[in-house]
Structure 1
Amino acid sequence: MSPLIPLGLAFAALGLWLALRLHRETRIRAATRAGYFDAVKPLFEGGEARLQPTGFPRMTGRRGGLAFDLQAVPDTLTFRKLPALWVMITLPEPLPMQATLDLMARPSGNEPFTRFAALRQSLPTPPGLPVEVAVRSDDATRIPPPDLIARHADLFQDPRVKELVLSPKGVRIVILAEEADRGRFLIFREAEMGRTPLSPNRLQPLLTRLAGLRDDILTLTKDPA
């Protein structure tokens, strides 16, 4: 028997083992991503999730009589320091507003989850907000008064809060949920994220904030008695 035959069999066995391991890890990764919002479902009445092309879910549910929408958006563009996972928390209940106001912390112009750069008017940063928060609108003459933003300025004290949007279609907060592990990304270019489901303790205060923000807007626009 040629000595090359056992060596070839060994390489074949190794190749099969690696293929099976890759298949198993791919299945685990897909299941983990698909369950990213599982831990926060109890916060909602009848939360429903549907899988997106990214492998992460999009979830809708009602809380306190209001409809909420959650989206997980992976951002693996190479110009970022590290790949990131953003979560968009939206309260898509119509509001009596005539313009959109968008506040973005440290905008790069390449965020995949926003139309911030498309809003044509750039506004001064209101007092009480960090200087790195930029503000844009599609009609600065019709945005809410500054005191409304001042009441919610503390939201941006959390460095992982990226964006706050107020619009006729509703209100939204975007947070940085996770960044890829620096060591594994730099060495292996591995950018896997979402291994740990979104925590209810992280999400619940933001849901409460959005509901309170909506109430404030309705109060401001209510006709006087």
Structure 2
Amino acid sequence: MSPLVPLGIALAALGLWLALRLIREAAARTRARANYFSAVRSLFDGGETRVQPTGFPRMTGRRAGLAFDLQAIPDTLTFRKLPALWVLVTLPEPLPLDATLDLMARPSGNEPFTRFADLPQSLPTPPELPKEIAIRSDDATRIPPPDLLARHADLFTDPKVKELVLSPKGLRIVILAEEADRGRYLIFRDAEMGREPLSPARLEPLLDRLAAIRKDVLALMDPA
């Protein structure tokens, strides 16, 4: 028997093992992404989850009578130091506001989840907010009173909070939920994220904050 025959068999076996391993890893990655919001379902009274083309889910549900919408958006654009996973927590309940007010921490102009750069008017940052917060609006003359921002300025003491949006259509908070592992990304270009589900402890304060902001907006805009 040629000595090359055992080598060929060994290489074929190795190739088969690698292929099976890749298939298993791909399946596990698909399951992990699709279940990213599975741990937070208990925070809502019912709801619906559908998987987006990215493999991550979008979830809607009701909490304390209010409708919420959750989205997980991966950001793997090359200009970022590390790929990121953003979570958009939205309260799409109409508000008596006449303009959109958008607060963004450290804006780059390339965020894939926002209309911040499209809003035409830039506003000064109030002293209550960190200096790295930029503010834009589509009508600065019709934004909510400054007291409202001052009351919720502590939201941005969390360095993972990226954006707060107040609009006639509702409210939104965007957080940086995860970044790709630096070592694996730099060496293997592995940008996989979402291996672990979003935790209820991370999400619940954001839901409560949005409900509190909504309550304050209603009180300020309609004191009666």
Q: TM-score range by the shorter chain?
A: over 0.9
Q: TM-score, normalised by structure 2?
A: 0.98
Give, in whole Å, the separation in 1 of the partners of 2:109 and 2:204.
Answer: 29
Partner of 1:164: 164
Q: Which runs of 5+ in 1 are unaligned?
A: none
Pairs within 5 Å for 1:194-213: 194-213=194-213
Q: CA deviation at 1:12?
A: 1.1
Amino acid aligned to 1:132: E
Counterpart-to-counterpart distance in 1, 2:88 and 2:223: 31
Q: What is the aligned length?
A: 224
1:192 equivalent in structure 2? 192
1:80 lines up with 2:80 in the alignment = yes
Corresponding position of 1:217: 217
Structure 1 residue runs of 4+, over 6 Å off?
none
1:58 aligned onto 2:58? yes
Deviation at 1:2, TM superposition (A): 2.1
Q: Structure 1 CA distance, aligned partners of 2:98 and 2:9?
A: 71
Tell me which amino acid in the other structure corresponds to 1:55. Answer: G
1:78-123 C-alpha deviation (Å, 9 max, x unpaired): 1111111000000000111111000000000000100100000000
How much has 1:136 moved relative to structure 2?
0.2
SS in 2 for 1:94: coil
- How far the C-alpha of 1:126 sits from its partner, in A, is 1.4
Question: Equivalent residue for 1:104?
Answer: 104
* CA RMSD in angstroms, aligned pairs only: 0.8
Q: Paired residue for 2:7?
A: 7
Opposite residue 85 of structure 2, the aligned amino acid is L
**Identity level (%):** 79
Residue 220 of structure 1: how far off its partner (Å): 1.2
**Separation in 2, partners of 1:23, 1:130:** 46
User: So what's the TM-score if we normalise by structure 1?
Assistant: 0.98
1:39 corresponds to which letter in structure 2? Answer: A
